[in-house]
Amino acid sequence: SLPRDLTGCTLVVTAGGTREPLDPVRFLGNRSSGKQGFALARLAVQRGASVTVVAGATAELPVPAGVRVVNVTTAEQMRKAVHQLSERADIVIMAAAVADFRPVSVAESKIKKGNDEPTSIPLVKNPDILAEVVKRRDQGELPVTRVIVGFAAETGDEQGDVLTHARSKLNRKRCDLLVVNAVGEGKAFEVDSNMGWLLKADGTESALPLSSKNLMASRILDAVSSVLHTS
């Protein structure tokens, strides 16, 4: 049977991809399915937590029993929901693929083809929600938040490249745990399995061997639980 080690904990998980509109019919988006985030949410409920998923665009995933879902579309909407919910969350897990950029403006009507000239789309950077949550906790604005988990999808042929990028990302974002997924051909996106590494803020690193997203969720929650019960 499952451990009930998250009993009494409130958890927020972001999942899926954000969509940044260009005009009434088009958007910039990504291939995130939301499967890893939903797997984490389902398992966390089974381990005793009270769970809200902030879901961007996902594959048509069934909502796991006992999980509350807040649907959002854009990074800005996800940001608002996460900031509000994290004020009461013991654990914040950011599994969503947030668009790094969005169009500077949204056209009111459908952008025309024009004279067959390719149109370029001016972009601005989206806020880094994960970095903002870490910063708010540092500033004392999130009194109950004890574990913040980030994800990093890294491409790279050499394991060394992937880990080097991931270590610098952990240093930059300063979350407590970073789940590193090796992405590329048949890995991580839109599939049911995942592999990678788990990096802790204290420098501890462990491999996450190729496994189902459910098993991956269980390893991630084990690590969350160990941070909770040692801090």
Per CB under 6 A, residues contacting ligand C5P are: 14, 75, 94, 96, 98, 100, 126-130, 150-152
Nearer to ligand C5P, 48 or 187 (CB): 187
Q: What does the alpha-carbon distance between residue 13 and residue 139 come to, in Å, rounded to a whole number?
A: 22
Closest to 197 measured CA to CA, from 184, 209, 207, 182: 207
To which residue do tokens 């929600």 refer?
A: 129
Q: What angle do CA 62, 179, 215 make, to 5 degrees?
A: 50
CB of 228 to ligand C5P, least distance (A): 19
Q: Is 101 annotated as a binding residue?
A: no
Taking the C-alpha atoms of residue 214 and residue 230, their distance in angstroms, rounded to an integer, is 24
With tokens 């500077």, the residue in question is 104
Q: Which is nearer to ligand C5P, 27 or 48 (CB)?
A: 27
Q: By C-beta, is 83 or 111 nearer to ligand C5P?
A: 83
Q: Which of 30, 126, 181, 194 is catalytic?
A: 30
Residue 27, annotated ligand binder? Answer: no
Does 30 qualify as catalytic in the annotation? yes
| DSSP tag of 158 | S
Known binding site for CTP: residues?
100, 110, 127-130, 151, 169, 173
Residues with catalytic function: 30
